[in-house]
Amino acid sequence: MYQEKIITNLVDHKIITISPNKPFTYASGMLSPIYTDLRLTVAYPDLRDWIASDLAALIKEKYPDVSIIGGVATAGIPHAAWVASKLNLPMIYVRPKPKDHGKGKQIEGIFTANDKIVLIDDLITTGGSVLNAVAATKKEGGNVLGVASIFTYFLNDTKKNFNDATVDFISLLTYPELLKKEKELNYITAPEYDALKSWHQDPWKWGEKFN
């Protein structure tokens, strides 16, 4: 397993950036001391191979009956391709919405009701986009075993949304694991660790002090 190498590379390449004193603003309006751009992982061959290897092993462990790997557009698609290659499995990918031309497809690839699909996304914040992809796949008759991601913030909203949708999900890295490892590697100070932990417990309340 390459967890430590993955984390150190995510930080060293500024794919994960931490700024407790000058927080980032998410699309939802939420203020956060951490910003993650996993799209950048495709630029680093060793890093993306470590991620694919660990994701493939995790998926095989948690979903041994998987027969198809699915990528969630757009950032999940390359990682799904690498994982599918590692597992020697077919691949599909799911768009956010059906095409407005041609055959109007939302899902590209071939699958049947007998296939057992695991969908991959790069990052899960609240789960909205990947849960839409799950719903679209099920609507087309697909059997989705679960969702896998490289990283999740593992917020309470995330857990609630997946529970409400009765969809299982796993992640290579979670926010609490990331914090623990970054503290061990001296990437963050004790006060920064406390601030990052406090945000995770109640993100909206944490951001109020900056308003």
Query: Which contiguous run of DSSP H or E holds residue 68?
Result: strand 68-72
Q: Which amino acid is at 96?
A: P
The span from the CA of 11 to the CA of 41, in Å, is 11
What average pLDDT does the segment 169-196 reach?
A: 90
The span from the CA of 146 to the CA of 59, in Å, is 9
The span from the CA of 148 to the CA of 41, in Å, is 16
If one compares 210 and 103, the residue with the highest pLDDT of the two is 210
Q: Looking at mean pLDDT, say which of 29-43, 59-73, 122-136 comes out highest.
A: 59-73
Residue 161: pLDDT band (50, 70, 90) is very high
What average pLDDT does the segment 85-93 reach?
A: 98
Across the chain, mean pLDDT equals 93
Q: What is the pTM of this model?
A: 0.94
What is residue 167's predicted lDDT score, i.e. its pLDDT?
A: 97
What is residue 99's predicted lDDT score, i.e. its pLDDT?
A: 78
What is residue 26's predicted lDDT score, i.e. its pLDDT?
A: 85
